[in-house]
Chain A
Amino acid sequence: MKLTIKAASYFFSGFLVLAFMGAITCFAQIDHNITPYTKTMTSNIHGITGRAYGDGQMRPDVGVQLFRRYCVGCHGPQGNGEGENASWIDPKPRDFTVATFECRSTPTGTLPTDEDLFDSITRGFVTTNMPSWKALTVQDRADLIAMVKSFSPRWEKDKPGTPITIPPEPALTIESILRGRQNFDKLQCWKCHGPEGHGDGPSASTLTNDKGDPIRPYNFSTGTRFKCGATNQDLYRIFMTGLDGTPMPSFADVVKPDEAWDLVHFLRTLQVSLKTPELALFRKWVAAHPGQLKPIGQEQAP
Chain B
Amino acid sequence: MQKKYVVLAALGLAVSSAHVLLGSPAKPAGSAVITGKVSYSGTPPKMKPIDMSKEPVCAKEHNPPDKTQNVVTGDTDALQWVVVYISAGDQGGAAPSAPVRFDQKGCMYLPHVLAMEVDQPLEIYSNDPVAHNIHPMPKINNEWNKSQPPGSPPIQTKWDKPEFIPVKCNIHPWMHGYFAVLRTSHYDITGEDGKFSLKGLPPGKYTVTAWQEQYGSQSQEVTITAGETKTVNFVFKVLPYSF
Contact = CB atoms under 8 A, between A and B. Distances in A.
A187 B173 CA distance: 18
A155 B40 CA distance: 42
A145 B153 CA distance: 38
Interface in B95-146: 129-131, 133-135, 137, 139, 142-146
Contacts of B219: none
Nearest to B60: A302
Contacts of A252: 146
B226 interface: no
A247 B142 contact: no
The size bracket of the interface on B is 20 to 34
Contact of B147 (A110, A203, A250): A250
B145 A247 contact: yes
B146 A250 contact: yes
- Tell which of A98, A249, A254 has the most Cβ of chain B within 10 Å: A249
A253 B155 contact: yes
Contact of A192 (B135, B150, B155, B171): B171
Counting chain B CB atoms within 10 Å of each CB, the highest count among A98, A154, A186, A254 belongs to: A254
Interface string B27-60: 0000000000000000000000000001111001
A109 B57 contact: no
Contact of B149 (A187, A250, A300): A187
Contacts of B148: 254
Contacts of A250: 144-147
| Most interface-central of B57, B149, B153 (chain A CB within 10 A) | B149
B60 A248 contact: no
A192 B173 CA distance: 12
Interface in A224-247: 242, 244-247
Interface string A96-109: 00101000000011
A247 B171 CA distance: 8
Interface string B6-34: 00000000000000000000000000000
Interface string A280-302: 00000000000000000000111
B207 interface: no
23 contacts: A108-B146, A109-B144, A110-B142, A187-B147, A187-B149, A188-B130, A191-B171, A202-B54, A206-B173, A207-B173, A208-B173, A245-B143, A246-B145, A247-B145, A249-B135, A249-B147, A250-B147, A253-B146, A253-B153, A254-B152, A300-B56, A300-B129, A301-B129
Which 4 residue pairs across A and B have the least CB separation, nearest first?
Answer: A109-B144, A247-B170, A188-B131, A249-B133
